[in-house]
Amino acid sequence: MRIAIVGASGAVGQEFLRVLDEQNFPIDELLLFGSSRSAGRKYTFRGKYIVVKELKHNDDFEGVDIAFTSAGAGTSREYASTITKHGAIMIDNSSAFRMDEDVPLVVPEVNGDDAFNTPRNIIANPNCTTIQMVVALKPLNDISPIKRVHVATYQAASGAGAAAMDELMEQHAQLVRGEEPTIEKFAYQLAYNVIPQVDVFTDNGYTKEEMKMYNETKKIMHAPSLDVSATCVRVPVMRAHSESIWIETEQPISIEQAREALSNAEGVVVLDDPAQKKYPMPLDIANEDPVYVGRLRKDLTCANGLSFWVVGDQIKKGAALNAVQIAQYMIAHGKKF
C-alpha cells in the first residue's frame, strides 16, 4: 500500500506518523507532503528517513491508495482533485467537506459503513469535539434514541495546533519571570485563564466550533431531528479535551443500563468510581487511544436525562487516530486497495 500524509510537519501530521506506526498499519511506501516552508524536512518512519515534498498540482499522487490530509480547509479544497484524480481515497481532517452531502463524515464506532459511499473519493474526519462525544453517545442511543444534547467543552491548547501549545508554555514562563505574556494564537492570555470562545462567532451567537458540534452530530448519527446545544471553552491544558454532557432520551435509561452499554462499547473506557475519586482527567488521558467516560449519573431535572463527563485526546482520537481507524475499518470490511 502507498500512503500519503499531507501536512506532515503539523501537529496532526506528526501524530499520523506515530499512529500509523503504533497501529502497525500496512504500508509499503509512505509519502510526505507539505508547504514550501516544510519541503525538504526529513522525518523518520520505521527506521527510514522520508523527505517532505512540496504539495503541487501534479501527478505525485498517482498510485497512492490513501491520503491522510491535515493542512487546513483551504488547502484541502484546492488540492482535493489533484489528490483524488488517480483514485486515491482522501481522508481529510479539515472542515472543508464535512457537511457536503456527497462526502461521508465518519466515526468508525458510530457509522463506519458510511465510509463506503465515496462518490468523490473523499471521506471527512469530524471535528475533534464531535468525535469523542458521538463515541460516547452511540451506545446510549442504541438503548433509547437521544432527543437532546447539551454539552460544555473544556478544550486544550493543542486543539489550536503545535504553536498554540508552545505559546501556553511560554506564557507560563513569561509570567513567572514577571514579563508580559505573548498573545498571538488566542484572543486573550490562556495561562491561568479560561476563554469562552473557540473559533469565531456566527450570527446566532454561537461560535463556528459550537455549530460544528450541532451539525456534525446530526449527520454522523443519521438523526436530523436531534437537538444539540454546545458551549466551547478553551482551558489552559496542554492536550486532551474534556466535555460535560447532558442528554435526554425518548425512554429512561437506568445508570446500570448506561454503565453496561458504555463498558461494552468499542473505543470507550468507563472510569467512574466517585468514592475513590476516580474519573477521567486530561492529564491522565493525553496520548491514550480510547474515549474515557466518568461522572455518570441521572439528571435531577429530567426523568429521561443522564449526565456524564467525557475526556479524549483530540490529536489522537479527535484527529489522526480516527482517520487511521476509518482506513482500518474499510480494509477489515472488504475494501481492496
Active site residues: 128, 241
Angstrom distance (rounded) from CA 286 to CA 21: 18
CA distances from 161 to 16, 291, 329 (A): 14, 20, 27
* Rg for the chain, CA atoms, rounded: 20
**Cβ(331)–Cβ(91) under 8 Å?**
no
Buried-exposed string 305-330: b where 16+ CB fall within 10 A, e elsewhere: bbbbbbbbbbbbbbbbbbbbbbbbbb
What angle (nearest 5°) sits at the alpha carbon of residue 254, between those of residues 248 and 257?
A: 110
Q: What pairs with residue 66 in β-bridges?
A: 3, 89
